Amino acid sequence: MSNRRKEQHRKSAGASITTGLVFTLAFGLAWSVTGIWAFIFPMFFAGVLPLLEGIRRSLVYQQRAKITPRDDEALGEKQVLQTAKAEKGLITPTLVALKTDLTIEKAEKILEGMAQKGYAVMHVNDNGRIEYEFPEFIPRLED
């Protein structure tokens, strides 16, 4: 989900809470002042239900916001590893970006992190191109 869409969902939840609260208070006040039971139905359907739905959406949004960063990182690492395996252990950030849904910047960041942790080895070619080598995916000669 794009950042713009996430922001719209968050605003939509807030709008539902606000609208539900306003209608609940308005129809509740009208019912308490007049004593007319007919105000109960719009208070419930135009006020209480949107209020509860807005609260539910807000909680779901908060829950997803906590989980997403770690899951995105793990998914990115898995995509890099799958590309490295398919390319027999030698990849570049551009190649990863081409074969996955990662951007070049994100692929480069993940590859640098994996090199720092020792999962990959970074090499700079004579022409200045940076390549990452994953030793476990390099084919070995059988004895």
Instruction: Give the lowest-confidence range in 46-60, 110-124, 129-143.
Output: 129-143
Under 8 Å between Cβ of 104 and 94: yes
Residue 143 lies in a domain: no
- pLDDT value of residue 107: 94
Residue 25 lies in a domain: yes
- pLDDT value of residue 84: 95
User: Total structural domains in the chain?
Assistant: 1
Residue 32: is its pLDDT beyond 80?
yes
- pLDDT value of residue 141: 72
pTM of the model: 0.53
Q: Which residues have a Cβ under 8 Å from the Cβ of 122 and sit 6 or more positions away? A: 111, 112, 115, 130, 131, 132, 133
Under 8 Å between Cβ of 16 and 22: no
Residue 82 lies in a domain: yes
Residue 120 lies in a domain: yes
Q: Report the share of the chain in percent with pLDDT over 70.
A: 88
